Chain A
């Protein structure tokens, strides 16, 4: 049986309605095999979706890519409700991945808010812009999220 090292890229995660975020300097945590990823998915009450294609998400689901360390190839995704996935990751000792997910969510909304503020100005339309940003950030998946995620690259 082939044994390989897979890597959870801390910030290479998918959040429904927002998009893929990636970084060359991401904090990574390593697991021994895909079997561990499947176990985490099961513990989180979710599923492990094999393949590199970004899965469709619903509600507050999150998809966490599992990447083969040697090749950088995405092997699959752990798909689960955010809170359950965080609990499962923490339970398995992957605390940095879990906190990274929160940081990514907060940073995403913050960046979009600043972009909106610069784009429309802060003198009159900020309230509307901010509301749109927050609404987009918490909107459910299953819309066009798959298409938008597939277009981005991550490692």
Chain B
């Protein structure tokens, strides 16, 4: 009788121990995981936000060659193609390399392009009149959710990591259905 009772007590203790161990494991995972992801976000988010902000600030200040360097390769290529197409539509011909170098060095094409751009888009819409939220963050691409004060839907500004540095994907964000006719 005593032996049975002792055996029953042992089983009960064992089950209790297993239960406590399981609880400890669950709690430790619950506390550790968020800390790990927070640490990843904090380390990654600054350069992403900095790149996006700096691009629009440089554009606003008229430093077009510097802002050009903060654009993704795909965006730069697309802008060059757009200018070439516009000139072709006018009956002219421009060399791709010529256009690229002009944008890189802040030349005649670059100045006229960005001045026309800024005549139709005020960077303050993004810099001052919008709320920024961190969206998706991955190893090589990220999104900043930009909520303009007068808009009911956000814009998701895409950035891409190229050669170790973050670049703004202007055309990847906004050009999805746009094309020059």
Binding site for B on A (CB under 8 A): 10-11, 19, 21, 23, 25-27, 82-87, 90, 96, 98-115, 117-127, 130-131, 133-134, 138
Contact = CB atoms under 8 A, between A and B. Distances in A.
B121 A112 contact: yes
Contacts of A109: 82, 178, 180
9 pairs of A and B residues whose beta carbons are closest in the complex? A121-B153, A111-B120, A107-B116, A102-B87, A83-B91, A111-B117, A107-B113, A111-B121, A103-B112
17 contacts: A21-B115, A83-B91, A86-B91, A106-B86, A107-B112, A107-B113, A108-B116, A110-B79, A110-B113, A113-B178, A115-B120, A115-B122, A118-B148, A119-B125, A119-B151, A121-B155, A134-B178
B92 A98 contact: yes
B29 interface: no
Interface stretch (B3-11, B20-28, B40-48, B169-177): B169-177
Contact of B154 (A90, A113, A123, A127): A123
A96 B155 contact: no
Contacts of B110: 103
Contacts of A133: 178
B150 interface: yes
Contact of A100 (B91, B112, B122): B112
Contacts of B116: 11, 21, 103-108, 110-111
B153 A123 contact: yes
B179 interface: yes
B108 A27 contact: yes
Interface residues of B, number: 49
Contacts of A21: 115-116, 119
A105 B86 contact: yes
A90 B113 CA distance: 19
B142 interface: no
A151 to B, nearest CB: 13
Given A21-B115, A114-B170, A124 B108 contact: no
Interface in B131-181: 146, 148, 150-156, 170, 173-181
B105 interface: no
Contacts of B150: 119
A86 B91 CA distance: 7
B71 to A, nearest CB: 12
Contact of B90 (A25, A82, A125): A82
A125 B120 contact: no
Given A101-B90, A102-B94, A118-B146, A127 B176 contact: yes
A19 B119 CA distance: 9
B66 interface: no
A154 B116 CA distance: 13
B117 A99 contact: no
B104 to A, nearest CB: 14
